[in-house]
Amino acid sequence: MRARTPVTGEGNRTLLDSNRSNVAQPSHNAQAPTEGEGRPAQSIETNPHRSPTRKRARITGDRYIPNRVDDIAAQFNLLDQPTTPRKKRHVSSDVDFQSMAAADETYRNVLQRQIFDDGIVAEPALSTPRGFPSIHGPALTPSTPTKNIFSFAQMVQPAGHVTPHSKSRTPNSRRGINMDPEAQIYSLSPIKKNSQQLLLTPAKPNRPISKVPYKVLDAPDLADDFYLNLVDWGKHNVLGVGLGNCVYTWTSETGRVQKLCEFNDDTITSVNWIQRGTHLAIGTTRGYVQIWDAQAQRRLRTMTGHTNRVGALAWNDHILTSGSRDRTIYHRDVRSPTQWITKLTAHKQEICGLKWNTDTQQLATGGNDNMLMVWDRLNDQPTYKFNSHRAAVKAIAWNPHQRGLLASGGGTQDKTIKFWDTLLSDQSSSALAASHRSSLPANLLNSIDTGSQVCNLAWSINSNELVSTHGFVQNQIVIWRYPTMQQVASLTGHTFRVLYLAMSPDGQVIVTGAGDETLRFWHAFKKRDTTTGLGSLENLSVIR
């Protein structure tokens, strides 16, 4: 093991394994078409009973209004080849994304207060799915102040008397004197007073997040395959990685790298740690599922059943669920000698996403058939079938802070993160869908377009935030604040799709893997605040 400092300053870099066109511009200036162009001239007949007409002047401007019937691509000589995306402006500060979002929100609120009535409540920044009715505050129609339009004379108010509502508008009597110094008519600024108070309010300090990984590990033969799950971080702070036909473990406390197993005629396609213990489940290309004791470094069991590669694994206590390219899902009880206890066959293509919710005993599955399904316990029929995604669903994550809240992400043709309520009853779902009058599922709470392929999702256990990794075309890691879905930070560094994501047991560090054969460690979240009134008693599970 040899550590060296990278040239880019990305932290300590450790060897994990020693073996190792532009769109064409218009070529001519189009002239504005004139009325009647291409038609024979017609004589103008004089009629004494008709109003005199004047010939329309010829317009010679630089504005071109194309004919919608013609082929615009042919006129402008547009090429069908894909264009090279422009490189976005480099963000130098760690909090630029948060500052830009806060500035946009402040500008929108001030503009809304200036245009509409003072009592207008700012619309929340949370975007709603298309087809859903937006929930706003009071109506956005400005109220018209009442005025005595046909009043010819009014009683003059005594000096020093302030008329009602003088802060919001001019007094009803033109002869009266408004003595309120805070009235809008005496203001020297075009900004209303409540908008000035909004601008003078100190902004909440943004949480700084380092844009540079504090550690980089070389990971030779880390597969650049969207449908595989080759990185997982166990509860004992040990990272498991599948590289080619080998599985390696990396201990966080000591930085020790150790080879757990090696297959001569097979390839690793998925790894997943059990919630409690040192057992690691491994899926292979030939359809085998093996269970290894990482501490003792010995194989405990080999289970069969699949006829193709096993790309997804998920533990739920003693139940191990495996999903394969053969379109089947097996529930396996590791205490039972049988190979599997339940077989699920609802998906029509390869299974690439599996996540158990141990709180509600629900299983979320995603496949290459663009389907997201939710199953209750070990049932062989899904409770929900969601087909809102337009690409493969690999990214799946259950919210640990809100019961039954599921987040899912779509592939290249979808690029969205969707949020689902999986505890909605059938009657509530039907009533909600009827009230919305939309073809969208009633369980869909929100949908965010990320602009990139969504490869992984993970919720923070310390705060109500979500981290997503992306592929085409930006290859970045984004931290979102839920439910506003404002970007907290965007982390870049990988040169390939960020296909793998795992989180440390304490919830502070995330590790990402990509086809560039590197593992990068990021300080993404803050440490959980454990300051309570219990003191040292909060660590005790049993009071004697």
pTM of the complete model? 0.66
pLDDT of residue 430: 54
Q: What is the pLDDT of residue 137?
A: 39
Among 348, 336, 271, smallest CA distance to 303 is for: 336
- Compute mean pLDDT per 10 residues along the chain, 544 residues long, and list them: 41 46 41 40 46 53 51 49 48 57 80 68 44 40 47 48 47 64 77 78 78 94 96 95 96 93 95 94 96 94 96 96 97 94 96 95 96 95 95 97 96 96 71 55 92 96 95 92 92 95 95 96 83 43 38
Rounded to an integer, what distance in angstroms lies between the CA atom of residue 313 and that of residue 351? 10
Rounded to a whole number of angstroms, the CA Rg of the chain reads 32
User: For residues 329 and 313, what is the distance between their CA atoms, to the nearest angstrom?
Assistant: 10
The rounded distance, in Å, linking the Cα atoms of 112 and 90 is 31
Cα separation, 383 vs 423, whole angstroms: 10
Class of domain 215-423+440-523: mainly beta
| Cis before 483? omega within 30 | yes
Count of CA atoms in the C-beta half-sphere (13 A) of 238: 23
Place of tokens 């390939």: 496
Q: Where are the alpha helices (DSSP H) in 7-95?
A: 72-75
Phi, psi for 291 (deg, rounded to 5): -115, 125
Taking the C-alpha atoms of residue 264 and residue 254, their distance in angstroms, rounded to an integer, is: 29
Considering all CA atoms of the chain, what is the largest pairwise distance in Å, rounded to the nearest integer? 114
> How far does the chain reach from its first CA to its final CA, in angstroms?
47
- Tell me what pLDDT residue 67 has: 53
Which residue pairs from 122-130 have beta carbons closer than 8 angstroms and sit at least 24 positions apart in sequence? 124/484, 125/484, 125/486, 126/446, 126/483, 126/484, 126/485, 127/446, 127/447, 127/448, 127/485, 128/446, 129/440, 129/444, 129/445, 129/446, 129/447, 130/440, 130/447
Alpha-carbon distance of 508 to 281, in angstroms, equals 24
